[in-house]
Chains A and B, each alone.
Chain A
Amino acid sequence: MTDPTPRPLSLQTVWLLEVRDNRSRAAFAQLFDFYAPRLKGMLMRAGMRSNQAEDVVQEVMLSIWRKADQFDPARAQASAWIYRIARNRQIDMIRRENRPLPDALILDEEDSIDDAGQVLALDQEGAQLRAALARLAPEQRAVIEQAYMGELSHSEITAQTGLPLGTIKSRIRLALDRLRHDLRDLR
């Protein structure tokens, strides 16, 4: 049983936990309303036409519903988890081969219990990340969007190292250190 969720958690994480724990269709409908138009935007940026993009959005939303039991808010924010699922489904559907994925970490039962403090910390960090992105100058933000929406090759991403990504890089670094620390504890 989950307690009433503390206010600082992002709505997206709350909805996804409701789907995971209670199979809530109402919460899933909220997730759909928020993410379907964004996912469609992401797919159309990748060159898909509207109806093709909607086919993939449908598959991604169904994957979210089916895989919700794998969502661990101590390890990923809802948006990061959905970003990953969307990319995997998109590539599986476009390419003939499946997207190569890292082996799943084998976790003990006791390790997968949500750690409330870690969940909150990660969620707040996500909020700060979004705020940092929103504060960027439009042209800087555009390049970051291009990189994360798959519009730049790896050499083009490498060529962008001069960009002022300081704030974002430091957020990444924080998330990295905490996750790495967690993972080491699991060994």
Chain B
Amino acid sequence: MTTGENAGRVVAERNGQGTSPGAAGEGDAVIELSDVTFGYTAAPVIEDVDLAVEAGEYVAVVGPNGSGKSTLMKLMLGLLRPDEGEARLFGEPSHAFDDGERVGYVSQHASAAKEMPITVREVVKMGRFPHVGFGRLSSDDWAVVDEALATVGMSAFADRRITRLSGGQRQRAFIARSLAGEADLLVLDEPTVGVDAESVEAFYDLLESLNDDGITVLLIEHDLGAVVDHADRVVCLNREVYFDGPTDEFVGSDALARAFGAAAGVLGGDR
């Protein structure tokens, strides 16, 4: 049993119960933002954003630096609460959502910069914590952990101290952690920063195959090439949504130029 299969099965089970079968209506939205406005100060970072991500979608959010991508993600996950409007996750208000085993999260900065002694396997193990609560990991849980390590090619590094690894290796460990969680929704905030080029390609293939298994993928990315190649749908953001639609249409549109401003203009001008 592979990690992906497992997760796919979980999705299938979940969809089978609770919601009416086959109904892909409004109620099925995994993430739903309605008229969301948010600012850390008086000036809004996010303004009037309306967005819904349905189960099984592969959505990429792009935009220049400082465009509010990460803030948008935090609003979606309930780490921040909107000043106006409403954010919902799996049909519940995001800030009140606590069924953590349904959400996998890979952050932009590998947070292991501090000198904490902890092995790669111990990090990946955390992905199982929402499933085990106060209990111990069963042998099945450990099997999922080792499977996730194998999937990202880090089995040989399982007992390494994570702070002693390169940025790319570390990022793989965090990806493995989100895989071990067997979530229905994967949220990735620039997950391939610092990962070597070949691995990036393989990593996007992995995301695609997870998506094929029914896992909803939300990718926040500055690498427009990767987005165009892999995502089904693109949301182009700079405080407001400039474009939201299929990737093909995005490539032909002028949304990027407008969002990035005339000066930046072309693809990849966000650095």
B and A form one assembly: no
Chain A residues within CB distance 8 Å of chain B: none
